[in-house]
Amino acid sequence: MRLSTRMRLTVVVLLACLMMVAAFAVTASAHTVQPHLSVRPSHIVTDITGCGTIILSGKGYTASTGTNTNYAFLKINDSPFFDEDASFGGSGTTTALVPVNAHGTFTARVTVCDPMVTAPDHWTISSRDNFTFLPSNSVNILVD
């Protein structure tokens, strides 16, 4: 093998290694948005008005910045019976916006009301990142 051929081969191998290192560095540092929702407690007993308080926590949302506040869009579903009337805070609305902090997480104390709880009932709350519209998982709450 000639010296010039060895040099070319060495340069090509070094460039290939450099490209792989650069590609790995970009991929490893990329922050992925993958919303995840959790709830405490997962079983509540409502008061006389049909209301109960839960704590919703989310992580993996797009982080808010100093100029742009991101929100978690929450939606409640009360099924499968005839009493599909659960709402946030007894307001009659089945959706709510919760601000996400600079770390892409949130924790919110939420009151859910259903004046016609038919025990055992359950509520399903789902969420999505309001910036990317990526959905999260759903959480089920057993209601008595």
Does 122 share its domain with 60?
yes
Does 24 share its domain with 67?
no
Does 80 share its domain with 123?
yes
Does 118 share its domain with 80?
yes
Does 56 share its domain with 88?
yes
Task: Quote the strand ranges of 18-105, DSSP E.
Answer: 36-40, 43-44, 51-59, 71-78, 87-88, 95-99
Does 68 share its domain with 99?
yes
1 or 124: which leads in pLDDT: 124
Structural domain for 102, as ranges: 36-143
CATH number of the domain residue 95 falls in = 2.60.40.10
| pTM assigned to the model | 0.72
Based on the structure, what is the number of domains in the chain? Answer: 2
> Which strands form 121-129's sheet, in the order they lie side by side?
43-44, 135-143, 121-129, 71-78, 95-99
Q: What is the pLDDT of residues 81-121, one digit of tens each?
A: 555 678 888 888 889 999 999 999 999 999 998 887 776 77
Q: What is the pLDDT of residues 7-21, one digit of tens each?
A: 777 777 777 777 766
Does 42 share its domain with 26?
no
Q: Would you tell me how many other CB atoms lie within 10 Å of the CB of residue 46? A: 19
